[in-house]
Amino acid sequence: MLPRGIVDIGKDIPAHDYHLIAPTATLVAHESLHPALMGLLLQAAHRIHSGTDWFSRQGEFPSDKYTEIPVAHEAEKFYKNGPPMLQRYLSFWIANFIERMWVVIVALGALFLPLSKIIPPLYVWRIRSRIYRWYGQLRLVEQAIEEVAAADKQSVAEKQLRHLDEIEEKVNRITIPLSYAEELYGLRSHIHFVRSRVQTMLTASMGQAAQ
């Protein structure tokens, strides 16, 4: 439609509306064209041809109204809703990646949701394991002094004191978050307690040997 007065409104040119006949220009793509590129081509066509002029209203072109060729699904979505929402705010490659991978992203989200409940206990266990494993060494020291024969008490006590020195040296190198410092200091106090037991046994055995 060529509207009345569009050429010169003062001179009323043309004097009335004209119905025009013209061939339809169709943007055609091979079916193998990637859907993401299809969207880019449509956005480019929209930027170039969507403006108003003598023969068309704003946003009238590009359009799927004047074609007999099957319209691709991506094109139908563009004509109906415009550019994808993500591409309005993100760069093309990021928006396209999210759009193509949303099924995988949702699946990963469903996987990480239960993992988010498992990870904190695992973290706590991992931190505490740095401390608790040394209690096994302390228990071995206690068993050694409990099961020793009277004649071997002095040598065993001296050996276990050296063992305790090694344990304490390694414990002093442990680095843990401040929220678990209480358990670390508890371990050190227990090392001191076991050391006191060994030293008591050593003192007693040395006294017996002196007699």
Q: Is 33 a domain residue?
A: yes
- Taking the model in full, what pTM does it have? 0.47
Q: Is 112 a domain residue?
A: no
Mean pLDDT (the chain, rounded): 83
Instruction: Tell me the residue range of the domain where 13 lies.
Output: 1-85
Better-predicted residue by pLDDT, 93 or 31 = 31
Taking only the tens place, the pLDDT of each residue in 155-203 is: 888 888 899 999 999 998 888 888 888 888 999 999 999 899 888 888 8
Same domain membership, residue 134 and residue 81: no
Q: Count other Cβ atoms within 10 Å, centred on residue 82.
A: 14
Q: Is 124 a domain residue?
A: no
Domain count across the chain: 2
Question: What burial class does residue 168 get, using C-beta atoms within 10 Å of its C-beta: 0-12 exposed, 13-18 middle, 19+ buried?
Answer: middle
Among 55-69, 86-100, 195-209, name the one with the lowest average pLDDT. Answer: 86-100
Q: Is 10 a domain residue?
A: yes
Cα gap 79→42, rounded to integer Å: 9
Cα gap 168→174, rounded to integer Å: 10
Q: Is 195 a domain residue?
A: yes
Instruction: Give backbone dihedrals phi and psi of 175, rounded to 5 degrees, phi first.
Output: -115, 125
Q: What per-residue confidence (pLDDT) applies to 105?
A: 75
